[in-house]
Amino acid sequence: MSTSRILSSRPSNAAREVPTRRAPALAQLRQLVPQHDDLAAQQAELTAAAHWLRAPVRTFHTRKETIRASHTTAETHPRIDAAVTEVMRAQYMAETLDALIDDLPRHGEQSGPARSLVWANNSTSAMSPPPMNSTHSSTSTAPQRWTP
């Protein structure tokens, strides 16, 4: 036998109480509907406010990242400039040494022993040239490298 036949053939206490319980439940539901509508409206307002507040937060984050990138760039520029300067110094020194070697008298053309002195000058390690009477100076035709 189906449940609906059982309920319709013998009304139980619960079935008899349905009409009496229905009215208070409907009254309570009528009171809850405006509360639900109010909450839905508040939710819509809060959602709109959240979207409205996200724009300044995104702008803030963008500005923060821009400032961070500018700071990194500002820190990096002196390092790059120093590296470029060192490369330019090394190129100048190589050109100078090439010119010096080209100007040295060739073997057999000289009237006396050729002397040359080369020293390193680096901004990170201040070195001075050796004294002229040092044992590091060369009396041969080829330049020699001085090491401290």
Per-residue pLDDT of the chain (148 residues; tens, 9 = 90+): 555 655 555 556 766 777 778 888 888 889 999 999 999 999 999 999 999 989 999 999 999 999 999 999 899 999 999 999 999 999 998 888 888 877 776 655 655 555 656 666 554 444 444 454 444 444 444 555 555 4
Domain definitions of the chain by residue range = 15-75
Q: Which residues pair with 125 in a beta bridge?
A: 122
Check residue 81 and report its DSSP letter. H
Beta-carbon contacts of 120 under 8 Å, excluding residues fewer than 6 positions away, are 127
Residues 6+ apart with CB under 8 A from 57: none
Cα separation of 129 and 118, whole Å? 8
Q: How far apart are CA 144 and CA 148, in angstroms?
A: 13
Considering the entire predicted model, what is its pTM? 0.36
